[in-house]
Amino acid sequence: MFELVVATNNAHKVKEYQEMFSGYDIKFYSMKDLGIVCNPEENGKTYEENSLIKASALAKLTKLPVIADDSGLNVVALNNFPGIYSSRYADSYGGNKVANLELIKKLKPYEDKSAFFACLITLMNVEEKPVQFKGICRGKILDKPVGEGGFGYDPIFYSEEAKIAFGEASPEIKNKYSHRAKAVSQLIEYLKNKRLIELVNEK
């Protein structure tokens, strides 16, 4: 069984990873599961840098393979804002309910509503060097929030590929088209090619 630590204390995130790898002989742990405390400052300028900062800090504290992810929403007309500041932008308005409306307002003067979610996963303690995987999910910002599903910026994001707003998409649809799903599928391919994991149970 391949064991991997996720640079998070969020049990939900670990459960999501475990689900995305369903059928594979892999076991995910949170830092909390292993009693690891690690909270580096995310002062990078890109998803690549921030994800690497988190993975490197954790990789020093365990011999197990580790992954760290960093993700966010990029609005093209706003020079990819909020981008790596997605979570901080939402916090500055006390959460996404208000932040989503503010983002729509900010984008009002622009005709171009295109946006994309990005997810960057860094894997360490497998190769000598870190390995990174990037997933992108393209779409546009809606005029008003819709649906009750998902989290964060999902209610204001319409996915071009899924042809539905993420706020209205089922978890199955979101897990097929999301930026995270795309980065994870690259990670799965990589680990399979390295013969570190294999499918033991067909879904």
| DSSP annotation string for 142-168 | -SS---S-SSTTGGGEEETTTTEEGGG
In three-state secondary structure terms, 79 is: coil
Query: Does residue number 28 form part of the binding site for ligand IMP (CB under 6 A)?
Result: no
* Cross-strand bridge partners of residue 30: 6
100 binds ligand IMP (CB under 6 A): no
Q: Does 72 bind ligand IMP (CB under 6 A)?
A: yes
Residue 73 within binding range of ligand IMP, rule CB under 6 A: yes
Q: Tell me which DSSP letter residue 74 carries.
A: E
**Nearer CB in complex with ligand IMP: 21/117:** 117
Q: How far is the CB of 180 from ligand IMP (least distance, A)?
A: 6
Residue 86 sits in the site that holds ligand IMP (CB under 6 A) = yes
Q: Is 70 one of the catalytic residues?
A: yes
The answer to the question of residue 6 lying near ligand IMP (CB under 6 A) is: no
Residue of 25, 33, 69, 70 with catalytic role: 70
Query: How many CA within 13 A on the CB side of residue 179?
Result: 24
Shortest spacing between CB 89 and ligand IMP, in angstroms = 8
Place of tokens 């979101």: 174
Question: Using the rule CB under 6 A, is 141 a contact of ligand IMP?
Answer: no
Q: Which of 65, 135, 139, 152 lies at the binding interface for ligand IMP (CB under 6 A)? A: 152
Q: Distance between CA 3 and CA 66 in Å, rounded?
A: 9
Contact assessment for residue 55 and residue 46, using Cβ atoms and an 8 Å cutoff = no
Q: Among residues 18, 80, 87, 185, which is the contact residue for ligand IMP, using CB under 6 A? A: 87
Q: Which is nearer to ligand IMP, 125 or 159 (CB)?
A: 159
117 counts as binding ligand IMP under rule CB under 6 A:
yes
3-state secondary structure 13-59: HHHHHHHHCCCECEEEEECHHHCCCCCCCCCCCCHHHHHHHHHHHHH
Q: Which residues are catalytic?
A: 70
Site residues (CB under 6 A) for ligand IMP? 69-73, 86-87, 90, 117, 150-154, 178
